[in-house]
A = this chain, B = another copy of it.
């Protein structure tokens, strides 16, 4: 251990706090001292643990802010990978999703998601109350293993909730009717995601399996849910005009690769909050591991998709490279806390290979997904959730059967839930804009304003 230059820091830490009295008057110091003593006395045996709790809670809210910025990442990624004429529409949808997602999570999502005691399948909850009341502002809320206050728990989970709808947003871009999407996304976030989530994180039947279903931060529960819902949406909606022609697939290029790249890097950044925050405390051991596995899986996904696209597509494709980073991230999300660094590398790399073939596959079967959301979140979500069984380090035992049950339940539910909403929407008001509106672009057709001027 050679760290010669930090002796100063160490010295600082051991400096006597008594120096305080030299600055302030005697009276002030006494007052301050009394404050500390009261502070310590009030916490008795748990004085020490309070600090760990405060640190952990701080991490929770910072992680929430980092997950929030993922919504900007999703917005710019989706905007960048689609046509200029639909940019206002895409940004607007993303403002809506985060806004309504936070509100509905307060109104019914949180208490649907974490019902505590219920039949294990669903129990629709009511609005949150004062979550700081009744010990909710102390570590009485969740103990040392869920080291956050009630509001900390709420805001971190609320930021996750809107993600499911955001994933769908990318897949249905450039042709969905705005009004329908606003209603659809509201119901998906408020009810669909939270019910599926309650099965795992809310103490539902997936948590009650003999070997409980393992999904650390949500490869299946968040990303898989969004991907499966997106698939159902795309089936009902159909492809964008001109994508699949008699002469084969005609790529519709994204209008701004810098926007797409900004999106992916922000998602990568936010993922440290997404996975890291899912440690649910500031426990240093797991925290460092999760940051490391998350970053290495992303990196491996990026490199693998670059190499794969060079071989398969004969060119170094930027959008594949970007999706490779995301594929790696989704692939590690279920097991980030139970695999080692090299397990993470393999899981991410395989995800990076899978995503290239998945994107090509969905194009082959004419499922038009402008941003590759079904491949990235849906397909890699399955890979990540299942592969952790094989890559988990010693002492972490999971059941392949439980993982398959979890994937089957969540994906199946998300698909059906989304399909039903889309079919109802199609029957009542229509889910797709007219051919004229699609050709004109949704910015003018739906919003009456372009995203860019010249």
Contact = CB atoms under 8 A, between A and B. Distances in A.
A50 B53 contact: no
Contact of A42 (B17, B139, B256): B17
Interface in A25-71: 28, 32-33, 35-40, 42-62, 64-66, 68-69, 71
Interface stretch (A165-173, A233-241, A285-293): A285-293
A160 to B, nearest CB: 13
B261 A91 contact: yes
Interface range on chain A (Cβ under 8 Å from partner): 35 or more
B292 A155 contact: yes
Contact of A46 (B36, B58, B61, B253): B36
A138 B43 CA distance: 22
A282 interface: yes
Interface in A219-277: 253-259, 261-262, 264-266, 268-269, 272-273, 276
Given A132-B285, A140-B23, A295-B158, A36 B42 contact: no
Contact of A149 (B150, B258, B288): B288
Contacts of A71: 265
B447 A316 contact: yes
Nearest to A259: B258
A302 to B, nearest CB: 4
A303 B103 contact: yes
Q: How many copies does the complex hold?
A: 3
Contacts of A393: 130
A99 interface: yes
B49 A9 contact: no
Nearest to A60: B288
29 contacts: A9-B279, A9-B281, A9-B337, A13-B39, A13-B283, A24-B140, A32-B143, A33-B46, A36-B49, A36-B144, A37-B45, A47-B48, A48-B50, A58-B59, A58-B284, A76-B262, A84-B454, A96-B302, A99-B306, A102-B295, A106-B296, A106-B345, A130-B393, A137-B288, A138-B285, A148-B288, A155-B292, A255-B452, A315-B446
A284 B62 CA distance: 12
A176 to B, nearest CB: 13
Interface stretch (A317-325, A372-380, A416-424): A317-325
A362 B109 CA distance: 39
Given A19-B140, A84-B454, A99-B303, A12 B286 contact: yes
Given A54-B52, A72-B265, A280-B9, A19 B134 contact: yes
A95 B288 contact: no
A35 to B, nearest CB: 6
A83 B453 contact: yes
A365 interface: no
A142 B167 CA distance: 42
A23 B16 CA distance: 31
Interface string A205-220: 0010000101010000
A58 B88 CA distance: 38
A220 B264 CA distance: 30
Nearest to A24: B140
Given A282-B54, A303-B103, A138 B288 contact: no
Q: Which of A13, A68, A94 has the most CB atoms of chain B within a 10 A radius of its CB?
A: A13
Contacts of A202: 2
B257 A91 contact: yes
Contacts of A9: 145, 279-281, 283, 285-286, 337
8 closest Cβ pairs, A-B complex: A151-B288, A20-B140, A137-B285, A2-B203, A99-B302, A72-B265, A51-B51, A102-B299
Interface in A359-391: none
B69 A66 contact: no
A127 interface: yes
Interface in A298-336: 298-300, 302-303, 306, 315-319, 321-322, 325
Most buried by B among A47, A87, A291: A291
